[in-house]
Amino acid sequence: MNRSDFLWLARFYKKYWGIVLFLVVMTPLYSMVNVFVPRLFGYTIDTMNGNGDSLSGVALAIADRGAGFGLTPAQSFAATFFLLGSSTFVFYACLMSTRAWMNCRLEWLFRQDAFNRLTTKGPDFFRKFATGDLVTRMTDDVAEKLSWFACSGIFRLYEATIGILFIVAMMLSIDPWLTLFTAGPLPVLILIFFRSGKLLDDRYDALQKSISRVNDVMEACFYGVRVVKAYAREDAQAAKFDRVAEARRDAEVAAVKMTTIIDSLYNYIWQFGVVIVLFAGGYRVVQNELTVGEMATFIYYVVWLVFPMFDVGQFLVKSRQSGVSIHRLRDIERIPAMVERGFEGMDENDVVVGGAHASGGTGAPAAGAGAAAGTTGPAIAFENIKFGFDGEGRRKILDIDELRIAEGETIALVGRVGAGKTWLVNLLPRVVDVDEGLVTIAGRDVRDYDITELRSMLGYVPQDPVLFSDTVRNNIVFGRAGISDERIEWALEISRFLMDVERFPRGLETMIGTRGLALSGGQKQRLSLARALVTEPRVLILDDCTSALDAQTERLLWDRLHEVMPGRTALLVTHRPDTLRRVDRIFVMSEGRVVERGTHDELMAGAGEYASIYHQYELMEKVGEAPPAEHDIA
């Protein structure tokens, strides 16, 4: 770990500065009280051996105070020994419980901060990081590695450093020459640390990457379990998992082996120093240069010194381990958020908890927030749009001079695979932002809206339904406040999913499994549509969201949708002939450009790209072949 990593950690302490201050003050008090206990033990031995004339001023003061209560010097030391021992126990219990509590709070902060940053990232980020890798960074890197180090690890080093200083001061007061013998192993220990640092970094980095691969394979297998079973690939998947699990085992063994070797070297070298002290100290007792009590106290301190020295060694090892985890979390932060305006001031030095940066509040718009803003859907305009990304060479995805949608108008986007339809509609909720140009809603740049205000106006149904391992109700409500059962049932009825829900064993409380695994493709799409409709948004964006429905079900769905369309601005990505005949205008896209525009009748009369696509899909429906879902590469 370097200075930058510690500064990264320090920003999380701001929320709990009072607890941190308590630990900073109480730790040296505990060490100071604790370190005096062996000294009293030595005074007691010397007093019982008749060496009371060698007592220091502090010891004489304790003896005099005890005499006032009718205690002998030995009894006074024993009583003080007991009181100090009890005090150190209380100090210790208080410090340990506080540090444990702080560990848990910091773990929560790390995870909340990382998760809220993840939600601001764009598609490029999620192409770079696999799901299993992100899960590992959010769980294992935080809980197993970083949270303990961030409080207990650092404060154990603080405690160990203060303890070593106090112990060495006591040892010097007893016998300076013997103290020099004790310090003999220190240069060797320091050399071991600096020589082993890079090896530890490499071992722990390899371990965390292997854990990420295991999680990624598990996530992919669980999500695709139906495909695995359909193709009878259980054995192949098991073999693949065995390979990554073995790689993780080997990486973990290598890391543990290196840690064990270093810890053992620390202990053995220090124990060798203890042996030297025993021989040298014993010789000085025989020569009457030390009393028995002083020798016993000195050995007590030497043995005690093992524990803070061990803590220092542990810190040096754990700091390498935690440094790897910090770098893995900072990797997430270094990639800028896709949405910038609306997240002012959010950078690597901020802690993002509860979506505060995203919304300036709870991040949960109330039901009907979009509808309440106006009775008619707003006008939408795309002007001089250029958008692309750097992949294998520069590829332009969108290049649109002008596309305007009037208030309350329903338009359809039509085009072949890869035409850029999905990318275009993703500009409205700011899933992605333009490289050049302007996207406006009601005459206002979408980048000037508060992000929560913007998205509360929109009801967006993507081409691939995104569902969560939760109940039907929670997938529709999606954390938004004030949505009643009546409103949920209305949305389900419009989306033609109410009858299905009524047949479920627990109705709205039915669990749908990971990514809606318990539902069919058509049910997933209709549930996703109900989620978009439930807040009565002013703008509806439906991205090929009925591709898994049969023609009859889709026709009934559109009949109900058209009843609620008036007064709303709607963008539909679709190729269904029946739907295309109903919309106000159609925009035909090819290679990121709008190549045709007009009503259905106007475009059919032109016998161009639209007419070709329309006839193709009309023929598919007549012969009973389901049209393929149109998936842009997004």
- Reply yes or no on whether the pLDDT at 589 is more than 90: yes
3-state secondary structure at position 146: helix
Q: Can you give the pLDDT at residue 66?
A: 62
User: pLDDT, tens digit, for every residue of 494-511?
Assistant: 888 899 999 998 999 998
Instruction: Give per-residue burial for 111-132: e unless 16+ CB within 10 Å, then b.
Output: bebbebbbebbbeebeeebbeb
Residues 423, 409: contact at Cβ < 8 Å?
Answer: no
**CA distance linking residue 483 with residue 475, whole number of Å:** 12
Residue with tokens 């050399």: 191
Sign for the pseudo-dihedral over CA of 156, 159, 162, 165: negative
485 vs 498: CA distance, rounded Å: 12
* Per-residue pLDDT at 440 exceeds 90: yes
Lowest mean pLDDT among 91-100, 171-180, 336-345, 595-604: 336-345
pLDDT of residue 240: 87
Q: Residue range 100-128: average pLDDT?
A: 84
**Most confident segment among 62-71, 161-170, 217-226, 557-566:** 161-170
Residue 308 has pLDDT above 60, yes or no: yes
Summarize the confidence of residues 609-626 as an average pLDDT. 78
Confidence of residue 381 (pLDDT cuts 50, 70, 90): very high
Residue 395, phi then psi, degrees to nearest 5? -125, 125
Q: Is the pLDDT of residue 582 over 80?
A: yes
Arithmetic mean of pLDDT, 428-440: 89
Cβ neighbors of 445 (< 8 A, separation 6 or more) are 438, 439
Among 54-63, 169-178, 389-398, name the one with the lowest average pLDDT: 54-63
**Beta strands 410-415 and 585-590, pairing class:** parallel
* CA atoms of 266 and 285, how far apart (whole Å): 29
pLDDT at 154 over 60: yes
Q: Following CA atoms 246, 249, 254, 257 in sequence, which dihedral angle do they give, to the nearest 10 degrees?
A: -140
Asked if 543 and 570 touch (Cβ cutoff 8 Å), the reply is no
Give the largest Cα separation in the chain, rounded: 119
Distance CA(401)–CA(437), nearest Å, equals: 9
Instruction: Tell me which residue of 370, 365, 377 sits closest to 533, measured CA to CA.
Output: 370
Q: How far apart are CA 336 and CA 265, in angstroms?
A: 44
Is the pLDDT higher at 389 or at 320?
320
Report the chain's mean pLDDT, rounded to a whole number.
Answer: 79
The whole-number pLDDT of residue 625 equals: 53
pTM confidence score: 0.62
Indicate the length of the chain as a whole number: 634
Residue 84 CA, distance from chain mean position: 44
pLDDT at 347 over 70: no
Give me the pLDDT at residue 424, please.
92
pLDDT score of 56 more than 70: no
Q: How far apart are the first and last CA of the chain?
A: 37
The whole-number pLDDT of residue 634 equals 36
Cα torsion at 218, 224, 229, 232 (round to 10°)? Answer: -80
- CB count in 10 Å sphere of residue 542: 26
Categorise residue 430: left if φ over 0, alpha if ψ from -120 to 50, beta otherwise: left
Which percentage of the chain shows pLDDT scores above 70?
Answer: 82
∠ CA 603-607-610 to the nearest 5 degrees? 55
Taking only the tens place, the pLDDT of each residue in 247-286 is: 989 998 988 888 888 777 777 777 777 787 788 888 888 8
Binned at pLDDT 50, 70 and 90, residue 64 comes out as low
Binned at pLDDT 50, 70 and 90, residue 518 comes out as confident
> Does pLDDT of 70 surpass 70?
no
Domains of the chain: 11-334 (1.20.1560.10), 466-536 (3.40.50.300)
Mean pLDDT, residues 68-86 taken together: 69
Q: How far is it, in rounded angstroms, from Cα 440 to Cα 571?
A: 14
Across 56-60, 312-316, 365-369, least confident range: 365-369
Local confidence band at 48 (pLDDT 50, 70, 90 cut-offs): low
* Confidence tier at 30 by pLDDT (50, 70, 90): confident
Share of the chain above pLDDT 90, in %: 15
Q: What is the pLDDT of residue 445?
A: 93
Name, in order, each residue with C-beta under 8 angstroms of 148's C-beta and a sequence gap of 6 or more.
103, 318
Average pLDDT value for residue range 434-440: 91
